[in-house]
Structure 1
């Protein structure tokens, strides 16, 4: 199978297939980013990759970078590498993330720890700062459909610090009748095509709000939140806001400084192509860095790292938010993608992302809707991030079939097959071939 060949016509009408193939060819020919696809490992194969929103393809340059590091820096310089460059690498790469992907001036972004650990450290630091300024601020606001880690971290911090969680639930769909909304309540199904709107957040925040934790792009549906408006609402209520940028950094424009973010955390193995388990990044606005207290005090965050003193004295700036030894090898590969993003511009990447997801929705309407598939993502590109979720009761089994055929989406309950389209490494012909494979798998299941 090649990306430009239909997987199977089967019961599908050949005329729509031919039209879609012609459209994919025209779009690929006109794509200003098409020349970058060959820079990725595996782009030359027939495998269809729909999971760049979970783990991005590596760049060929990163293969060379990792080999050279092992041979020349780790193998050649050995422990001297810490003094020569490694100690500053978390900050240098953090500043590159700020420039290329999240709209942050230097000195506000650092790489280190996993997303979960960074979320814990920074949500707890913000919560403690809020309570210190006003003991009545004991609520952490988060939505019911946020990524599990975000919800679990918030629940743990509330229990640990004597706070409580204020749950935001998007408007109910027919399958969500009875879903609860309030300071507490059982987890119920939600309408995954919607998300946290300014109206919903205004209802949830108030004098008791300490911290608001939201995802810029929803992990299931791809719903794109209005980050500037939601940030203003949190600030008007006197609360801190923490943004989860895992599904937007490198795919959707972010302006952390211009939008007045307080704190943000994001992973680097999705659209930043850092590799499996590559460390996450943390952004903290410069105005807050000396106000927030690091809850996991480790030697790397001390004012004098090598003093080995009897008590902890925090460093100034972003160093104070490090805890242990930075995972240097894990942060190497993302440098190549950051350089590419900075070279082509995040706006060009976003334009390609919109074109890809719009095309995926059109193909789904033509080929998959007759099988009962619904698009469980916003149809308005302005309200949608870089992936599209297709809903059908058979999608878990369909995903297993596709993986066996080297067509790689992923699955998320309830009944959602996610089509993650990385703009720098995905073509329109590949997108069509993969969705034809979805149609064939649905026919096989039927």
Structure 2
């Protein structure tokens, strides 16, 4: 991974004023600017939507209806009258356009970790006998690695850690499954989903993608690029709320062969038959397990209203413009040598966050948050700033870089 170290000294007043004016002009021309009004925000700068998205302002009233009317008054009748039973597939169909999938291929429920387990085990079973390797992104979020290792023990496979760029060379006749992240959670590097998926298929293996840091930030193209299985969370760029349910994508061509390691009554062909033998339901419902978390699920459904009328291509365009502008401001403002960008400069390799390496990152992030600029930290030395195009503006990016420079200048030599 190439790294670019900032070289400019602290910016002059003229430079600062010019960047502030540009930010205002960019915000005025932003076609997504009106989306900001849909969210409950304070006067700070919230750049941690890649960990927890902001609250859409209309959601509390919708949740209140779920609690007081649907649960409080209708009670058990809400499974039919309020559509609780069909929520996992219904909400999956609302997420589908955001990740480039046709309806009927996404089911919402459980956590990302649980869905990774379902996907990896099912993928190993789809790949069939004679293939005993599960290739795993060596830089993956730790839980994905833990889950893949458990799946390997269960299925008699072995884990092969590999850097995403090295996947094509590592693929061989024993490869069964390849589990990759579309965007690296530390650096924000965007991996080549189309190219890597094609390489996996050429080797006869099954591709499983983790979309936690890409869904809602950039076009994914699951159907277009022939992805087999995918999982993702909904509490980051999709703003579903803390711990909101994750989702599982099973390409239509694999649904009949999808053999979940967690069969439950909710995924049974006749769930109320209560028979001792398991018969899987048709379609994406095979990804269900037990009774869904209705309150959290319907909170997510309400939050997705913020996406009505939004094109993902417009989100991607703003994301790239925001991160470009933030990096420009960092280069102009930050004292020389204090931070190093580990986020790729090339648009084709960048997600929707900027990661800066900083020797005293923990102290710096604490001070930033005290001053109203909220990012987060990945130990030992990475400051992460997530840019959520639905509610982050260019003035936010300029202010964040300026405050970062002030903090770094104050802590120089400390």
TM-score if structure 1 supplies the norm length? 0.88
1:236-272 Cα shifts (integer Å, max 9, x gaps): 0000000101011111101111110100001000011
Q: C-alpha root-mean-square deviation of aligned residues, in Å?
A: 1.5
SS of 1:418 mapped into structure 2 = strand
The 5 Å alignment of 1:117-266 reads 117-130=114-127, 133-135=128-130, 137-169=131-163, 196-197=164-165, 200-266=166-232
Looking at structure 1, the residues matched to 301 and 109 of structure 2 have their Cα atoms a distance apart, in angstroms, of: 14
Instruction: For residue 78 of structure 1, give the secondary structure of its aligned residue in structure 2.
Output: helix
Post-superposition offset of 1:372: 2.1
Q: What is the Cα deviation at residue 341 of structure 1?
A: 2.5
Q: How far did 1:159 drift?
A: 2.5
In structure 1, what is the equivalent of residue 37 of structure 2?
A: 38
* Distance in 1 of aligned mates of 2:269 and 2:185: 37
SS in 2 for 1:212: strand
Distance in 2 (alpha carbons) for counterparts of 1:369 and 1:86 = 54
Structure 1 window deviating more from structure 2 (329-338 vs 266-275): it is: 329-338
Deviations 1:78-97 (A, max 9, x none): 11111221000110000110
Q: Distance in 1 between matches of 2:21 and 2:140?
A: 38
Q: Is the 8 A contact 1:394 1:442 kept in 2?
A: no
The alignment of Structure 1 onto Structure 2 pairs a total of residues equal to 403
Q: How far did residue 20 of structure 1 move?
A: 1.1
| Contact 1:250 1:341 (C-alpha < 8 Å) held by counterparts | no
Could you say what secondary structure the match of 2:85 adopts? Answer: helix
Q: 1:286 aligns with which of 235, 244, 252?
A: 252
Residue pair 2:335, 2:409 contacting (<8 A) in 1 also: no
Secondary structure in 2 aligned to 1:332?
helix
1:86 is paired with a residue whose SS is coil
Question: Structure 1 residue 161: deviation in Å?
Answer: 2.4
What is the deviation of 1:128? Answer: 2.5
> Deviation at 1:11?
5.6
Q: Any stretches of 5+ residues in structure 1 without a counterpart? A: 1-9, 170-195
Counterpart in 2 of 1:25? Answer: 24
Q: Which residue of 1 aligns with 2:6?
A: none
What are structure 2's unaligned runs of at least 5 residues? Answer: 1-8
SS in 1 for 2:309: helix
The Cα offsets for residues 135-178 of structure 1, whole Å up to 9 and x where unpaired, read as 2x111111211111111111222223221111213xxxxxxxxx
Partners of 2:401 and 2:68 lie apart in 1 by 42
In 1, Cα distance between equivalents of 2:277 and 2:324:
56
TM-score scaled to structure 2, two decimals?
Answer: 0.94
